[in-house]
Chains A and B, each alone.
Chain A
Amino acid sequence: MIDTFLKSLETGSGFWNPLVLGLAIIIALLLIYIIRGFGKKDYKKGTEQTKAFLSGNPEYSKDEMHIKGKNLYWGFTQALKSVYNVLEKMHNGNTSDYVLWFVIIIGALFIIIGVI
């Protein structure tokens, strides 16, 4: 019974055992805890020590400081604008175009499989 739970997953060219990873995580957490013990002991919550330092600039309100979804990966999407233009054209919301893709795939498969 225990063997069933401890068994590794064979992948054809390797293996995977999540329990080994679990053990590694526990060891890593123990190491982190030990290293933390070497830290400074004079840290005090709610004092000047914990305030954000923005090179002397005033701190924004909490609401304004939140990084929203639109702020993330804009560089990536901008760099791949040409790819996104094609993809957005594909997803134009027009049902006729969606059906057209279905017809195109049928036509392509007819040619590849050798019907036509």
Chain B
Amino acid sequence: MHGLVRVENLVKRFSKTRLAGPNQEVRALAGVSFSILRGTTLAIVGESGCGKSTLALCLACLERPTSGKIWFEEREISGLHEKDRRVIRRQIQLIFQDPANSFNPRWTVLEILTEPLALTGNLRGEEMRSRAGGLLSQVGLSPDMQGKLSSELSGGQRQRLAIARALALEPKLLILDEALSALDCSVQAQIANLLMDLQGSLKMTYLFISHDLAMAAYLADEIAVMSHGQIVEQGAPEKILKQTGQRNHDALFAAKSRSRFLPAHRRLAACLCVYRSRPRELFR
């Protein structure tokens, strides 16, 4: 096994250039380095605003880093020409946090699913339709919802649809940018299991970005903790959880912070969910 992605000293600064006046600058990434092995999951955890999403956009070739290098399959991709980046992008797919925002609201499920196919392949109408049906069943959706609008689907169904759309291009790396955060607790568990099944069958590599340490520990082979644009801790999930010293407490804290905005009765359910979904040994 060797690394699929290697990131070295990645820096991203956003600056607002103006015709007059001083430039304002925000440093989103301040020297991030890590690598992900093929077929494994790296989780990146951190509070909001620490640069996780910027990292995701840089890796997906949607933003250009200010400095630093990204190797994808032993090829440096951050400095490539726009045309070549367009080709690379197809192998790295993103799943977004808000499933309602991930689809063109005017399009039906079929149009949504065939968009990546139409952009890349030269499939004909009938082939595309059957491929779309296949993708839907792959993520556990009924193939006869092709004519629906995305707004007619539930949150969980939409996130499944987003995964199906990403799978259409058979990506090597799937970046899940807070992909579970907007979902209900029970739906979260379902989608998490779906992701693990897909990883097993398709040998995909995941970059799981979340502020939910418990879910990260459940899904990932390795966790990196980010703060203020830098990785401050990295290691196996057990190690990361242990380092905080209070294992149970910590998981509970993570769940609590996640459910801060939920009403009281839902908060309890969310905390219970962590205990159920976490592997036993983490609590030993």
Determine if chain A interacts with chain B: no
